[in-house]
Amino acid sequence: MHNSSAWDWATAKRLVADIGEWRKSFEWIEEPYVSPDGEKLAAVVKTGEMEYAACVNGKAWENSFDKVWYLRFTPDNRAAAIVSDTGMWTIAVDGLAWENSFEYVWSPCFSDDGRHVGAAVQKGRKYYAACDDRPWAEGFFNISNFTLAPDGGKTAAVVQTVDFKEGEIFKFKEGCYTVAVDGKSWENNFVNAWEIAFSPDNAHVAAEVRTSLYDYTIAVDGKPWDTCFSSIWKPLFAPDGGGITAPVRLPGGWTLALDGKQAWDRTFLQLLHHFYSPDGKKIAAIVSPRYGRWTLALDGTPWSTTFGGLVTDAVFSADGNHLACLGKEDERWTVAVDNHPWDVDFDMVWQPVFSPDGRNVAVKAEKSGKFVLAVNGRVFDTVYDCLWAPVFSPDGEKIMVRGIQGGSGTGKYYREVIPLTKIAG
């Protein structure tokens, strides 16, 4: 979560980095990334013979590595990456590597405020999770679905607690997987377990589980719901702590369940990716109301607007009064807001961004190989060779545009603050 109130919203346009100049110092420059506040541009660069680092605003990290992988910015604007040193892997943040190193590192993620960094790791034929350079004390036979609590206070993952060989099908059916929280596994084992959710206060954990070859349900702190289903998707805790919801499959179709009981009074051919409004009072989900068509449902009522290809990247406005998504029809993408699609389409488009008051929607989009900014269905004239998601100012009157012009390999990265009236009219 970005504290954008302290960012620079006064400077209209500023050149932050000239990638063409970087070429004079580094023979190899990989894909660039931009910090949330727009003040930094970073890319993996080759600093010497088999030596790599991240370059931030033209200056390479002091420490170099055998390999730098999956470079990203934390929400608090630090450059972080998976790095290899003498064949061992770890996490480096702003060039400083963790003291602990591992044979393999994957699924790095950040807390909402960016202060905490976690990842799944493997060492000595055991699998762990680690956060802020502290791996779990106990390792497991396998690990997946690593999840960091939103505030970074806890870690969880699906773990294999019983070793079995490929042919030991009866042993597998007895249950060899469960969830571990901060390295301590639940007492109950399951045939499988998948996506994990933390409660708002981090006190509880829920996950998708398979209790037999044919029965699926949600387990909360290791205890499964009393009801099982023929299939199930990721659970979520209500923001107000009022219960746990999950998409479930009934004999008549898919619906939303609350604490194991049907919560919506109708079913769909499919229901997935449900999510809450910020105040927790509304629930939306991507649904298929009829074969081959996709849309959003709000509190169980589907939109009349549907798409034949795909619906994705749905999001509520901050006040919960508006809802937007991306829709694909006949290989063309557009944005739909409150059941109304824009009358413009794109080759590709990214998740909608609401202004703080919910009245305006901006997106990064691609048309004819170039990137553009679109607001409320109007496409801004300026084109970019590389563009990142737009950011509204706290008062909603300006938009920060983070883009490269002149080609991602030789172009210039500008941070530009534009009055909304100039874009949206």
Give average pLDDT by consecutive 10-residue segment, the chain, 425 residues.
85 95 92 97 95 97 97 98 96 98 98 97 97 97 97 97 92 95 98 97 96 97 97 95 93 97 97 96 97 97 98 97 98 98 98 97 96 96 95 96 83 95 74
Q: Are 403 and 386 in contact (CB under 8 A)?
A: yes
Element (H, E) at 340: strand 340-341
Element (H, E) at 32: none
Residue 34 CA to residue 45 CA, distance in Å, equals 15
Residue 91 CA to residue 404 CA, distance in Å, equals 28
Q: Are 56 and 33 in contact (CB under 8 A)?
A: no
Best CA proximity match to 401, nearest among 370, 425, 368, 423: 423
Half-sphere exposure of residue 323: CA atoms within 13 angstroms, side-chain side: 23
Task: Report in angstroms the alpha-carbon separations of 68 from 52, 81, 82, 119, 209.
Answer: 6, 6, 6, 15, 35
Q: Are 400 and 38 in contact (CB under 8 A)?
A: yes
Local structure of residue 303 (DSSP, 8 states) = P
N-to-C CA span, the chain = 29
Best CA proximity match to 249, nearest among 272, 226, 274: 272
Local structure of residue 282 (DSSP, 8 states) = -
Residue 350 CA to residue 389 CA, distance in Å, equals 8
User: What pTM value is reported for the model?
Assistant: 0.94
Q: Are 400 and 394 in contact (CB under 8 A)?
A: no
| Residue 241: predicted pLDDT | 77
Task: Report in angstroms the alpha-carbon separations of 100 from 63, 234, 363, 403.
Answer: 16, 32, 40, 36
| Residue 1: predicted pLDDT | 59
